[in-house]
């Protein structure tokens, strides 16, 4: 039996670190552009969806502790079939999208150090470096990824708290007054577009085998980490909207959080937040490349991705790292940040909806509250539909790309599964 090494604090750190990665730095400006003075409410709505879904993850993690996390949970609920296989591919692609989001955000903040060199080529060079360097680190020294994460998490959380506590006296309450709110639908849409900022709490599930006293600590870790991040994000949103003019935020929406630090801390604050953003996005890319390469390795081993991704060098999934880097490079350099944020949020809302439905299907085995799972399923599904409807109305290209990813996952699983594996589900149909 594997030794349990991770206590409650460690498990909470995994959840907080997974959420407070590059997401908040990347999508804060997007939230302001949609919700305006109601940005705080938008973050709260997204947080509620995350908190409800964390209940399903907590129940699944206690019942089926496994490094496979999401993949294992859906397989247990529906068996290994076209649905679970397709969802596994959607999850793999979703992490590629988040890498793209973080790299674009990295480039946006990094460009502020080169005001006279801003341009198309510099942006794409920085985006590419943000993916290539962490990928190289993953190939050379995978242990660096895990060792550096806790340090980076502490640095970025401390800097965010510094901004919050020094900025309260600079808040102009009229900027967050009801008359400056967007319409209710836009506020809800804003919350769903920035939902990717809460993606990451599910990583606790991947460490469930190593958690001490899992029956108590796993649920606590999920709930505590999500609640802490909700509070942190609400405070950041309040400070950002309350201290900086909306027009100024929209002009610099790709690095809005750095602008929000200037009223209280001046240019030093701007630089500190920019450095924190670079560290956060870089470490988030580093960790996501690490995790997705191993997810690809697992899927290839199970016959859901080409066997080439099952290759290792020095116990490192080399082919998985390379494929993750190459696909992310293409995405990040060809899709803008608004579309990337929408696609990432829609992908995880879809995955979390299926997790909630899976938990509902197994509520007796999980010893879970049926009605809470019904609520979780309805809320996450409504959030997904709302985001997709608004995307259809306002950003059709993003919807087309998202649907293309889904179609690719289903078609690939159907045909590759039929050719490469003795897939009982397909044969029986």
Q: Tell me how far apart the alpha carbons of residues 102 and 287 are, in angstroms, rounded to a whole number.
A: 11
Residue 248 lies in a domain: yes
Q: Tell me how far apart the alpha carbons of residues 101 and 64 are, in angstroms, rounded to a whole number.
A: 31
Q: Tell me how far apart the alpha carbons of residues 262 and 252 are, in angstroms, rounded to a whole number.
A: 13
Residue 429 lies in a domain: no
Q: Work out whether the CA dihedral 176, 177, 182, 183 comes out positive or negative.
A: positive
User: What is the residue range of 239's domain?
Assistant: 8-423
pTM over 0.95: no
Which CATH number is 353's domain given?
1.20.1740.10
End-to-end CA distance of the chain: 40
The count of domains in the chain is 1
Residue 3 lies in a domain: no
Q: Tell me how far apart the alpha carbons of residues 40 and 44 are, in angstroms, rounded to a whole number.
A: 6
Residue 167 lies in a domain: yes
> Exposure of 121 by Cβ count < 10 A (0-12 exposed, 13-18 middle, 19+ buried)?
exposed
Residue 428 lies in a domain: no
User: Which residues are 36's β-sheet partners?
Assistant: 181
User: Which residues are 27's β-sheet partners?
Assistant: none
Supply the Cα-derived Rg of the chain in whole angstroms.
21
Digitized pLDDT (tens) for each residue of the chain, 429 residues in all:
445 577 888 888 888 877 886 778 878 888 888 899 899 999 999 999 999 999 999 999 999 887 778 888 888 888 777 788 888 889 899 999 999 999 998 998 999 888 777 666 888 999 999 999 988 888 876 555 556 666 777 787 888 888 888 888 888 888 888 988 999 999 999 999 889 889 888 888 877 778 888 889 999 999 999 999 999 999 999 998 999 888 888 888 778 888 888 888 888 988 888 888 888 888 888 878 888 887 888 788 777 788 777 777 777 788 888 899 999 999 999 998 889 989 999 999 999 999 999 999 999 999 999 999 999 999 999 999 999 999 999 899 999 999 999 999 999 888 876 666 554 444 444
Q: Tell me how far apart the alpha carbons of residues 314 and 320 are, in angstroms, rounded to a whole number.
A: 13
Q: Which of 248, 221, 265 is nearest to 6 (CA)?
A: 221
Q: How far is CA 231 from CA 134, 234, 236, 238, 284, in A?
A: 30, 5, 9, 11, 21
The answer to whether the CB of 31 falls within 8 A of the CB of 193 is yes
Residue 83 lies in a domain: yes
The contacts of residue 266 (CB under 8 Å, 6+ apart) are none
Residue 2 lies in a domain: no
Residue 386 lies in a domain: yes
């Amino acid at each position: 039996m594997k030794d349990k090494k991770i206590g409650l604090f460690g498990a909470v750190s995994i959840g907080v670190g997974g959420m407070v990665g590059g997401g908040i730095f990347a999508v804060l400006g997007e939230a302001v552009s949609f919700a305006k003075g109601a940005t705080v409410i938008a973050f709260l709505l997204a947080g509620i969806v995350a908190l409800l879904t964390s209940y399903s993850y907590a129940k699944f993690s206690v019942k089926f502790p496994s490094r496979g996390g999401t993949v294992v949970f859906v397989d247990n609920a529906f068996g290994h079939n076209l649905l679970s296989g397709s969802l596994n591919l959607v999850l793999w692609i979703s992490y590629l999208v988040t890498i793209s989001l973080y790299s674009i955000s990295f480039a946006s903040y990094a460009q502020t150090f080169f005001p006279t060199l801003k341009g198309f080529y510099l942006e794409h060079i920085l985006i590419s470096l943000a993916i290539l360097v962490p990928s190289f680190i993953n190939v050379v020294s995978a242990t660096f990824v895990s060792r550096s994460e806790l340090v980076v998490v502490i640095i970025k959380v401390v800097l965010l708290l510094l901004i919050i506590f020094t900025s309260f006296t600079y808040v102009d309450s009229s900027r967050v007054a009801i008359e400056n709110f967007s319409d209710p639908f836009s506020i809800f849409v804003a919350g769903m577009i920035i939902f990717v900022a809460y993606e990451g709490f599910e990583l606790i599930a991947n460490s469930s085998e190593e958690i001490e006293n899992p029956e108590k600590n796993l649920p606590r870790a999920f709930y505590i980490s999500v609640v802490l991040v909700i509070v942190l994000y609400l405070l950041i949103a309040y400070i950002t909207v309350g201290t900086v003019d909306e027009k100024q935020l929209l002009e610099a929406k790709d690095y809005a959080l750095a602008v929000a630090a200037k009223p209280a801390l001046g240019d030093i604050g701007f630089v500190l937040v920019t450095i924190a953003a670079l560290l956060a996005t870089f470490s988030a890319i580093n960790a996501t490349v690490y995790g997705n390469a191993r997810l690809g390795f697992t899927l290839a081993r199970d016959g859901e991705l080409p066997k080439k991704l099952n290759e290792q060098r020095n116990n490192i999934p080399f082919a998985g790292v390379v494929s993750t880097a190459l696909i992310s490079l293409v995405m990040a350099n060809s899709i803008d940040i608004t579309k990337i944020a929408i696609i990432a949020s829609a992908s995880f809302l879809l995955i979390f909806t299926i997790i909630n439905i899976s938990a509902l299907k197994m509520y007796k085995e999980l010893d879970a509250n049926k009605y809470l799972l019904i609520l979780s399923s309805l809320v996450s599904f409504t959030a997904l539909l709302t985001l997709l409807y608004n995307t259809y109305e306002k950003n059709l290209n993003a919807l087309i790309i998202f649907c293309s990813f889904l179609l690719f996952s289903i078609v690939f699983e159907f045909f590759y599964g039929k050719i490469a594996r003795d897939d009982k589900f397909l044969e029986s149909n």
